């Protein structure tokens, strides 16, 4: 099974690129973030003609998460539904989407597409909303899943977890997506029982980024950050074969500022 996650920064602009990614790897699952269309305006038919099931929760011209799947979902979860605090996170359904799947070798697998708030500027109300959102995400997982549940949490988390996940940690320390508070709350999320799939395979490798600013020739100079992650529960570690970032999609004309991250599992 090959899965992917990609912040496309507008499905309308990047539709052909998404189709190319699906076809390049014959993806079984693709999590998409920042679709920037309302739920009903997503191009469902385009993907259905390719043989995929499509799930999408959108917003008013911003946010939006989708899952493209070869298998039909047994169950769908949207936002933080079911938690009493859900009213404190009005855009949660535009940012969290999960589906339950069943395979011949695995009776249950949950796959999520997540788009965590950016939080800029640092120390603003939006910044603290981001931190609270990540705390809430952990509580949500603890409420509805166990550490033994085969679960993949993928998406744009807008956090670079460690110094090796940014091009220049001394320069970027304190910048949005690389503050101490953000890193701590991300590590707290992992304490649910999640492992960073890329770091399982490449624990110390530097220069593996998923986001580059559109300005300053950042991509050409590899001045990036690793903000997009595939997080897995321990039951999937033995099934994990490979994890990689496809930089070719960031090098296209009119690219997203993110590159897709992909993983292959023995399923």
- Name all contacts of 238-244 with Cβ < 8 Å and 24+ positions apart: 238/266, 239/265, 239/266, 239/267, 240/197, 240/200, 240/201, 240/264, 240/265, 240/266, 241/265, 241/266, 242/201, 243/197, 243/198, 243/200, 243/201, 243/202
Burial class (CB in 10 A: 0-12, 13-18, 19+), 180: exposed
What domains, with CATH codes, occur in the chain? 2-265 (3.60.10.10)
- pTM of the full structure: 0.97
DSSP 180: H
Q: What is the 3-state secondary structure (H, E, C) of 223-253?
A: CEECCEEEEEEHHHHHHEEEEEECHHHCCCC
pLDDT tens digits, 81-92: 888 655 789 999
Q: pLDDT value at position 84?
A: 66
pLDDT tens digits, 101-116: 999 889 999 999 999 9
Q: What is the Cα–Cα distance from 107 to 90, expressed in whole angstroms?
A: 33
Phi, psi of 259 (to 5 degrees): -105, 150
Residues noted as catalytic: 115, 156
Per-residue exposure over 242-256, b if at least 16 CB sit within 10 Å of its own CB, e if not? ebebbbebbeeeebb
**HSE-up of residue 27 (Cα within 13 Å, Cβ side):** 26
Q: pLDDT value at position 86?
A: 55
Per-residue confidence in pLDDT tens, the chain, 267 aa: 999 999 999 999 999 999 999 999 999 999 999 999 999 999 999 999 999 999 999 988 789 999 999 999 999 999 998 886 557 899 999 999 999 999 988 999 999 999 999 999 999 999 999 999 999 999 999 999 999 999 999 999 999 999 999 999 999 999 999 999 999 999 999 999 999 999 999 999 999 999 999 999 999 999 999 999 999 999 999 999 999 999 999 999 999 999 999 999 999
Q: pLDDT value at position 59?
A: 87
Q: pLDDT value at position 61?
A: 79
Look at residue 8 and give its three-state secondary structure.
Answer: coil
Q: pLDDT value at position 105?
A: 86
């Amino acid at each position: 099974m090959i899965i992917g996650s990609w912040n496309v920064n507008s499905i309308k602009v990047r539709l052909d690129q998404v189709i190319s990614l699906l076809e390049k790897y014959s993806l079984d699952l693709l999590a998409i973030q920042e679709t920037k269309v309302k739920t009903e305006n997503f191009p469902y038919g385009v993907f259905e003609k390719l043989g995929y099931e499509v799930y999408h929760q959108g917003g008013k011209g911003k946010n939006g998460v989708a899952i493209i799947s070869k298998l039909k979902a047994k169950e769908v979860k949207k936002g933080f539904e079911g938690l009493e605090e859900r009213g404190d996170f009005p855009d949660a359904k535009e940012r969290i989407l999960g589906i339950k799947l069943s395979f011949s070798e695995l009776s249950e697998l949950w796959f999520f597409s997540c788009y965590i708030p950016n939080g800029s500027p640092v120390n603003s109300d939006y910044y603290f909303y981001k931190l609270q959102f990540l705390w809430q995400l952990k509580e949500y997982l603890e409420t509805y899943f166990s550490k033994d549940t085969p679960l993949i949490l993928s998406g744009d988390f807008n956090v670079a977890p460690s110094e090796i996940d940014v091009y220049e940690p001394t320069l970027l320390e304190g910048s949005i997506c690389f503050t101490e508070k953000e890193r701590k709350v991300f590590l707290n999320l992992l304490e649910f029982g999640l492992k960073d799939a890329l770091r399982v395979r490449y624990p110390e490798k530097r220069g593996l980024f998923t986001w580059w600013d559109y300005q300053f020739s950042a991509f050409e100079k590899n001045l990036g950050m690793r903000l997009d992650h595939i997080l897995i529960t321990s039951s999937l570690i033995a099934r994990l074969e490979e994890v990689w970032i496809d930089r070719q999609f960031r090098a296209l004309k009119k690219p997203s500022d993110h590159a897709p991250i992909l993983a292959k599992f023995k399923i």
